[in-house]
Amino acid sequence: MAFSEDLKERIKKIMSKYETKQSALIPVLHEVQREYGWLSLDSMKEVAELLSIPPADVQNVATFYTMFFTKPVGKHIIWLCRTLPCALRGAQQVEHYISEKLGIKPGETTPDGKITFFEAECLASCGTAPVMLVDDELYENLTRKKIDELIEKLRAD
Amino acid sequence: MPEMRIIRSYVDRANSETIESYIASGGYTALPKALRMDPLEVIEEVKKSGLRGRGGAGFPTGIKWSFIPRDSKKPVYLCCNADESEPGSFKDREIIERDPHQMLEGIIIACYAINAHKCYIYIRGEMPKGARILERAIREAYEKGFLGENILGSGFSLDVILFRGAGAYICGEETGLLESIEGKNGEPRPKPPFPAQVGLFGCPTIINNVETLACVPHIINRGADWFASIGTPKNTGTKIYGLSGCVNRPGLYELPLGIPLRELIYEYGEGTRFGRAIKAVSPGGSSSAVLTADELDIPMDFDSLAKAGSMLGTAGVTVIDESTCMVRVAQNLAHFYRDESCGQCVQCREGTWWLEKMLTRIEEGRGRMEYLDTILDACSQMKGTTICALADGCAMPVESIVRKFRHEFEEHIRLKRCPFESRYMGVWEED
């Protein structure tokens, strides 16, 4: 696998904004993950080459941050907040509801590859708990109806 | 009583995030005023206002700014800490999403004061909407000449770059944040040297919280004396309190610093859900020591809470009612810190792990009485012994919960099970 010219151009553009090549690493990993959905060993090696840093440094960073995936994930990602303010307003119940509905536990992907379900630590929306981040959108004051509609939409996509 | 809205004045207005709306409500009038002042005068004004950092530590902002060497041969940086991740805190999200220009105006003024020509806004990865809104706000500010070369003809130039994190609580720690921008793991740096001397890329750097920076245009426009007249003498201005957990009206409330906790919960939060009694309150984000129902008359400011052995932190108040198992609360928090420890310091890496393990055993009925003293001992060894405050952030709430609710832990151990009937720690509105 090699990055397309288009992706390489975008990476160069990102690099031009930063003081050092390494400081472009996190923005570049976001960009590569947007393209492929996750960060394979090959992609990490290619990023290392473009940024002139050791591949181990790229892998080190990619595995430190929870939003970078070094294994394939589903087409859609559900991040359900589990931390105290959400837990006090039913996050554990929501987790069981979603788990039962999808037939998977947190950390797993549905067999059709559509949805990966993760627990998240505090999503900074404690006033509208329980909440979850689904791809790029936050869903607040979760109810069964909201969850049902959303999962139906994700499955159909 | 209505809130005392200064920063939240326009958050309910449609399109409040656009530059047109901000300008129509008097925005970007502090900037030209500041640019006509000497940078040192700006710092003096912020010092005089008594503004203390809203990110948790409460350090005086003007004094922090004055640590930047005036004759620096190296570039100076400002980093805006928009990595809001403290459980219980959700105030910065609203500023970012509903009034981003207010914080941008504060950023430009701060950069002028400390002579920085580049600012990084570090927004947490889990806020994609906030990132979209800020990208647009930054673009709008460039188009109107509030950012870029020679801002408003003043000769002062500034570039702002939005940097998205990727999921790590520790990057909200200021030097963890710097490491992350440099493309590394967010592992906090030993201090000294402090960032004002050796910060981003080895250059003098100031790191300020979103809400702190949003206060700045108001101080410049209405004066330090006006700001200092709000709150109490050493805790000036308004504070955006976040109320969550077992209350009827969770949400954000902007009030003068020093409002009693009881008033916040009962007047603004309209009391507890189902009229249940309060068992405990986490007053300043999850890293603060919990208070009991006997401590609700404490004024919500930096010094009063410190005196009570807790802290104002980010002023994210989480209310825990009588139906909640405190062992589960401690376990939930220990899990968070174990998950978020960067792993550099043994006390933190091992301590958070052991705390979660012991608390889980107690909750599952496999605990022993001697665990309680072991937990307290571990907590005391985690405090003040590590590079950053994450270990303290775990030890303080856990220690306070074990000390103040020891009988609940003992009951679990005696009965060899959790005495609470529900298998869940909270109540879902749906049930």
Residue A7 vs residues A3, A18, A32, A52: alpha-carbon distances, Å: 6, 18, 8, 17
Domains of chain A: 5-64 (1.10.10.1590), 76-156 (3.40.30.10)
What digits encode the pLDDT tens for the residues B52-78?
Answer: 999 999 999 999 999 999 999 999 999
8 Å CB contact of A17 and B92: no
Of the pLDDT bands very low, low, confident and very high (cuts 50, 70, 90), residue B399 is very high
B 376-415 residues inside an 8 A Cβ radius of A: none
The mean of the pLDDT values for chain A is 97
**Closest CB to A89 among B85, B124, B428:** B428
Instruction: Please compute, for residue A10, the number of CA atoms within 13 A of its CA located in the half-sphere on the CB side.
Output: 14
Question: By the CB < 8 Å criterion, does B329 face chain A?
Answer: yes
B81 by Cβ neighbours in 10 Å (0-12 / 13-18 / 19+) ranks as: buried
Question: By the 8 A CB rule, do B376 and B359 touch?
Answer: no
8 Å CB contact of A89 and B252: no
The total of other beta-carbon atoms located within 10 Å of residue B85's CB is 26
What digits encode the pLDDT tens for the residues B81-136?
Answer: 999 999 999 999 999 999 999 999 999 999 999 999 999 999 999 999 999 999 99
- In whole angstroms, what is the distance from residue B283 CA to residue B294 CA? 13
- In whole angstroms, what is the distance from residue B240 CA to residue B243 CA? 10
- In whole angstroms, what is the distance from residue B142 CA to residue B151 CA? 9
3-state secondary structure of B213: helix
Question: By the 8 A CB rule, do B306 and B282 touch?
Answer: no
Minimal C-alpha gap between B60 and chain A (Å): 25
The structure tokens listed for B197 are 């001397």
- In whole angstroms, what is the distance from residue A128 CA to residue B312 CA? 21
A 15-74 residues inside an 8 A Cβ radius of B: 17, 19-27, 29-30, 51, 53, 57, 60-61, 64-68
Domains of chain B: 19-229 (3.40.50.11540), 235-321 (3.10.20.600), 326-415 (1.20.1440.230)
Question: By the 8 A CB rule, do B412 and B362 touch?
Answer: yes
**Closest CB to B182 among A23, A82, A126:** A23
Task: With CA atoms as reference, report the closest residue to B288 among B317, B247, B321, B260.
Answer: B317
The total of other beta-carbon atoms located within 10 Å of residue B307's CB is 11
In eight-state DSSP terms, residue B431 is: -
Minimal C-alpha gap between B48 and chain A (Å): 32
Q: What pLDDT shows up at residue B428?
A: 96
* pLDDT reading at A1 higher than 70: no
Residue with tokens 């520790």: B170
Minimal C-alpha gap between A57 and chain B (Å): 8
Residue A15 β-bridge partners: none
Q: What pLDDT shows up at residue B177?
A: 98
Contacts of B166 in chain A (CB under 8 A): 26, 29-30, 65-68
What digits encode the pLDDT tens for the residues B139-167?
Answer: 999 999 999 999 999 999 999 999 999 99
- In whole angstroms, what is the distance from residue A91 CA to residue A94 CA? 5
Q: What pLDDT shows up at residue B270?
A: 98
Q: Name the pairing type of β-strands A76-81 and A115-120.
A: parallel
Best mutation target, B91, B211, B244, to test chain A (most A CBs within 10 A): B244
In eight-state DSSP terms, residue A54 is: -
DSSP strands (E only) in B12-114: 77-82
Task: With CA atoms as reference, report the closest residue to B113 among B154, B59, B174, B56.
Answer: B154
Phi, psi of B64 (to 5 degrees): -55, -45
* pLDDT reading at B332 higher than 90: yes
Mean pLDDT of B202-226: 98
- In whole angstroms, what is the distance from residue B427 CA to residue A94 CA? 10
- Angle between helix A41-51 and A25-36 (nearest 10): 140
Task: With CA atoms as reference, report the closest residue to B267 among B291, B280, B251, B283.
Answer: B251
Of the pLDDT bands very low, low, confident and very high (cuts 50, 70, 90), residue B1 is confident
3-state secondary structure of A111: coil
* pLDDT reading at B207 higher than 70: yes
Residue A108 vs residues A72, A76, A147, B285: alpha-carbon distances, Å: 11, 12, 18, 30
* pLDDT reading at A57 higher than 70: yes
- In whole angstroms, what is the distance from residue A117 CA to residue A96 CA? 12
The total of other beta-carbon atoms located within 10 Å of residue B274's CB is 11
- The C-alpha angle with vertex B390 and arms to B320 and A139, in degrees rounded to 5, equals 55
In eight-state DSSP terms, residue B51 is: -
